[in-house]
Amino acid sequence: MKIIICDSYKELSQKAADLVIDRMIRKPDLVLGLATGSSPEGLYANLVEAYREGRIDFGQASSYNLDEYVGIAHDHPQSYHRFMEDHLFSQVNLSRERIHFPDEEADFAHYDRAIEEAGGIDFQILGIGPNGHIAFNEPQDRLYLDTHVAQLTPSTIQANSRFFDSEDQVPRTAVTMGMGSIMKAKEILILANGPKKVEAVAPLLRGDRVYTGSPVSLCLLHPNCTLIVDREAAGDLAK
């Protein structure tokens, strides 16, 4: 795993955008795997700016989002559809027919097949939950490979409640890509910032073991994965 430690969230977001922009220029029909959450917000803002400046074009690109809550409407302020709409889709020329979310399939297995038929994800963007989850693959003994419905853990419900009026309103389940869906991506970029991510990032910085109690640690096995982290999230392990 390639590790880049940044001094600020601004620098992290710029470095992340530089990578995505480079891949989009090299392959205009890039298949993007997209994450929601606060971590990639700066990256998306930079991509919108690059699009406005004519440095990138989404005309031939396509996207597959990682996850979506079950039980809230797509226009709910906290739905991941709405997040993507606000932060990226409404501001760039990514064609509607080429935007995909896992909960739109009646049969979730079809989502993984659709990704395969599209040639696989070229570039997967990931955030990390404070407990080491990626998408909604929560720490547990057995991790699912394919897209599935996941139960959120109490710690994730609590972590994500900051976006809702109260903890009661956080959905308890979500449709999520599985670990296999994610690990099949040709390239992965993981973003983590802030002091709440110290424990989640530590297994990646130590880099000496993988375990299902830290789903993100499995990314250590991926042949083309970059972690961009700020000094706060890297904590004492920052060199």
**Residue 136 in contact with ligand GLP, rule: CB under 6 A:** yes
Q: How far apart are CA 60 and CA 132, in angstroms?
A: 33
Give all strands of the β-sheet with 173-176 in edge-to-edge order.
67-69, 173-176, 148-151
Q: What is the token pair recorded at 230?
A: 């700020």
Catalytic residue among 41, 67, 122, 232: 67
Q: How far is the CB of 57 from ligand GLP (least distance, A)?
A: 26
Residue written as token pair 């110290």: 198
Site mask, ligand GLP, residues 3-42, x = CB under 6 A? --------------------------------xxxxx---
Interface pick for ligand GLP out of 99, 135, 190, 219 (rule CB under 6 A): 135
**65 classed as catalytic:** no
By CB under 6 A, the residues from 35 to 74 that bind ligand GLP are 35-39, 66-67
Cβ nearer to ligand GLP, comparing 13 with 39: 39
Q: How far is the CB of 192 from ligand GLP (least distance, A)?
A: 8
Write the DSSP assignment of 54-80 as a string of letters.
Answer: TS---TT-EEEESEEESSS-TTSTTSH
**81 classed as catalytic:** no
**67 classed as catalytic:** yes
**199 classed as catalytic:** no
- Rama region for 193: left / alpha / beta (φ>0; ψ in -120 to 50; rest): beta
By CB under 6 A, the residues from 149 to 208 that bind ligand GLP are 156, 160
Q: b/e string for 118-139 if b means 16 or more Cβ within 10 A?
A: eeebbbbbbbbbbbbbbbbbbb
Residue written as token pair 């700016």: 49
Catalytic residues: 67, 131, 133, 138
| Chain positions contacting ligand GLP, by CB under 6 A | 35-39, 66-67, 127-129, 135-136, 156, 160
